[in-house]
Amino acid sequence: MSRHLMFLCLAAVGISVAAPCLAQSDAELDRAREQLETLRRSRPESVPEGTLSSVEHYLDVVQKIRSKGGQSDNSHRYFSRAREALDAAVDGRDAVGARRGFVVRGYRSSISKVVQPYSLYVPESYDPSKATPLLVVLHGGSSNHNLFLGVVFGNNLDWDTYSAHLLDLFEPRFATDWLVAAPNGFGQVMWRWMGEQDVLDVIDDVQRHYTVDPDRIVLNGISNGGVGTYSIGARHAWRFAAVLPMAGAPSWWQYLVTSTTPLERRLISAFGAWDSADNLRNTGLFQFFHGTADTGPMRPHYPPAFQEHLKRLGVPHVYTEYDMGHDIMYRVHRRFKLLREIDHVRRDPRPSKVWLVAWDYRARRQHWLQVESILDFTDAARMVGEVQDEGHRVVVGTKNTDEVLLHLRDCPIASTGDVEVVVDDVVVTKLGASRPDELVLSRQGFRWKVGRRPLADGELRKRPGLSGPITDVLHTCQVHVYGTGVEDDTATLRATARRAAEGYWAQWTWDYVNDVVADSELTDEMIQRCSLVLYGDTRSNAVLARVASKLPITIEPGAIVVGARRLESKSVGTRFIVPNPLAPDRYLVVQAGNTAAAVAAGNNLPDFLPDYVVYDENTTARRPRAIFTRRYQPVIAGYFDNTWRLAE
């Protein structure tokens, strides 16, 4: 289609013209995808891969609109942007990177087959030769990256109409000199797991394509995004100059407003700011905002209780409340007057004293302290590190860890003379003139020593990227494998796998898609590339039968055996996570049951799960939002020990 004819189609009015435009545009969409793949194979150096990923997202949006029977202005505008970027790329120009104002970008995520989008505001004054501060804003419920950035910049809409405007392309109604990024967070998972990873990946992607001041990155969000700001801001505090939650809940146990078992309390303590508040001690500004008349699930009494908690800990903070309801964003931002007021706030990249609370390996670092081994996964690992004696002494105190890493290049140690390293009140080593960028220390026997703790031959040990719990698999790409060995069960197992592969395990996900294959179709390349999720039992699933003897929970025809307990009820099933015996650097998740119906019922488990769960018809009678309720408790649940065996 010529550009002139394309313009006529886009400008056409009336039913008689719309149909031929749609048909021709479908053909043009196919040609655009072919051109995109050609460019990927022979991409000019001046055109980043991120630009081509952005074009792929534009085309995905066009396809999504058309799949719903629509041929809206949004479809035309996204296609026009894709066409503009493709034509420029052929000429060696980066049209996406050159755009100012609102820019919709995409990047290829390692945990979904779908290109992940985010929206970015690039100021007219942006100069790539100068470092620019970055504000990261997290959307609330019912919103997405695109709509939320529009709202942040003054395009106010009634919340009831959000769903009709998710794909609108807005224009900013006011300006700032900051870069402003709005991640998508995989939809409405409230910024946990893949949602948290998306925020970190978006920051990385913005830094890849724009000149960002790493000491002036600020995290901010409202409602669900406020929950995410509390959580990500505390778990990854060392990355941010300021953390500014609005109208959120500081802890998940506050938000859920229900009694919890010790196991469940541990699971939800990993997220939110309450149980990781010590990490925020080095944040340049930790300020949270709430409305005293908020009638939603983010109750007005949450922040004052959190404030008292922070006072007891001695964590610096500012709490600001308003005599209004939930929608406080414009009151807080005031057309970005807030950014002008915090323009002086900087992250200290080399603090002399660092606090670290790590509930898992996905958030194991604060500044120059990093946990390499968590001893007991029922609790957090904790460390405090301090540089003393004018940089000639590094003192570290530890709890619940036997291996740590010191990022010496980020540690304000003396540049000359010896540096003494002390761990748990014992001098471990002295560093001379020649020093590594990183220093690993481990407890071997009763003493801390330099170097990693040696592993015995064949010893399997929890470690970063391979530690559980079940939800940790959501940080990885997955291949969901259904069994075909029992013909009557195949359809049920296939449907179960497909539902989980599209993100059902973490409710309300968007753009989260993984492969689904039959056990007979699984290839060695798939096994090595991604985590495997197996559905069925040893009769129906050939892959499960292949590895069953190496698993800590025994799956037999008609029975699940956990330690001394043999469970034979037809409604009993299990889900658990272990290293994959076929690819030891990847996860294996098993969702098995004594019947195919029991396997399918496993999709009804709540979001937060430990390493293993055994359930029955009572457990899965209804889908809890986040954790097990008092009425719907699991049969057995817990963590494997540090060597992936059932704890005694």
Residues 105/50, Cβ–Cβ less than 8 Å: yes
* CA geometry: angle 272, 278, 284, nearest 5 deg: 95
Among candidate residues 450, 483, 500, the one where a domain is terminated: 450
Do 390 and 513 reside in the same domain of the chain?
A: no
501 and 621 housed in the same domain: yes
The partner residues of 385 in beta bridges, in order of sequence, read 354, 396
Non-local CB neighbours of 15 within 8 Å, separated by 6+ positions: none
In a domain, 622, yes or no: yes
Report pTM: 0.94
Identify the pLDDT of residue 470: 98
Any domain includes 425: yes
Does residue 408 share a domain with residue 501? no
Residue type, 426: V
Calculate what percentage of the chain has a pLDDT beyond 70. Answer: 96
Contact 29, 63 (CB under 8 A): yes
Distance CA 302, CA 396 (A): 33
Instruction: Indicate whether 438 belongs to any domain.
Output: yes
Count of domains observed in the chain: 2
C-alpha count within 13 angstroms, C-beta hemisphere, residue 46: 11
pLDDT at 158: 84
Same domain membership, residue 511 and residue 415: no
Q: What is the mean pLDDT of residues 120-142?
A: 97
Same structural domain, 424 and 512: no
Q: Rounded mean pLDDT of the chain? A: 93
The residue from 385, 419, 450 where one domain ends is 450
Backbone angles phi, psi at 370, to 5 degrees: -145, 135
Given a cut of 60, whether residue 595 has pLDDT beyond it is yes
* Residue 529 and residue 491 in one domain: yes
Q: Of 450, 483, 503, which closes a domain?
A: 450
| Tens-digit pLDDT profile for residues 90-116 | 999 999 999 999 999 999 999 999 999
Q: Can you give the pLDDT at residue 25?
A: 67
Nearest partner of 611 among 530, 550, 552, 526, judged by Cα: 552
**Is residue 444 in some structural domain?**
yes
The string of DSSP codes covering 299-323 is -TTHHHHHHHHHHHHT---EEEEES
C-alpha pair distances (Å), 632 with each of 5, 256, 266, 268: 61, 16, 18, 18
Q: Is residue 223 domain-resident?
A: no
In DSSP terms, which residues pair with 591 in a beta bridge? Answer: 535, 575
CA-to-CA distance for 164 and 73, rounded, in angstroms? Answer: 13
Residue ranges of E strands in 68-148: 101-107, 116-122, 132-138
Together in a domain, 420 and 512: no
CATH number at residue 510: 3.30.379
pLDDT digits (tens, 9 = 90+) for 268-306: 999 999 999 999 999 999 999 999 999 999 999 999 999
Q: Which of 24-33, 248-257, 499-508, 542-551 has the lowest mean pLDDT?
A: 24-33
Task: For residues 480 and 392, state if they share a domain.
Answer: no
- Statement: residue 320 has pLDDT above 90: yes
Q: Determine the average pLDDT of the residues in 315-332.
A: 97
Same domain? For 435 and 489 the reply is: no
CB crowding 492-513: b at 16 or more within 10 Å, else e: bbbbbbeebbbbbbbbbbbbbe
Burial label for 280, CB within 10 Å (0-12, 13-18, 19+), is buried
546 in any annotated domain: yes
Q: Which residues pair with 509 in a beta bridge?
A: 187
**13 by DSSP, 3-state: which?**
coil
The answer as to whether 255 is a domain residue is no
**Whether 436 and 492 share a structural domain:** no
Q: pLDDT tens digits for 392-443? A: 999 999 999 999 999 999 999 999 999 999 999 999 999 998 999 999 999 9
- Does one domain contain both 529 and 630? yes
Q: Which domain holds residue 372?
A: 353-450
- DSSP result, 253-299: HHHHTS---HHHHHHHHTSBSGGGGGGGGG-SEEEEEEETT--SSS-
Residue 204 predicted with pLDDT over 90: yes
Residue 70 has pLDDT above 90, yes or no: no
Q: 452: which DSSP letter?
A: P
Dump pLDDT digits (tens) for 1-54. 333 333 334 333 332 333 334 433 678 899 999 999 999 999 889 999 999 999
- Kindly state the DSSP code that residue 89 receives in the 8-state scheme: H
Q: How far apart are CA 615 and CA 591, in angstroms?
A: 11
Q: What is residue 546's predicted lDDT score, i.e. its pLDDT?
A: 98
β-strand 478-482 against 426-431: which pairing, if any?
Answer: unpaired
CA pair distance 235, 193, nearest whole angstrom: 12
The verdict on residue 112 lying in a domain is no
Alpha-carbon gap, residue 147 to 135, rounded angstroms = 16
Same domain, residue pair 482 and 397: no
Q: What is the DSSP string of 363-387?
A: G-EETTEEEEEES-TTS-EEEEEEE
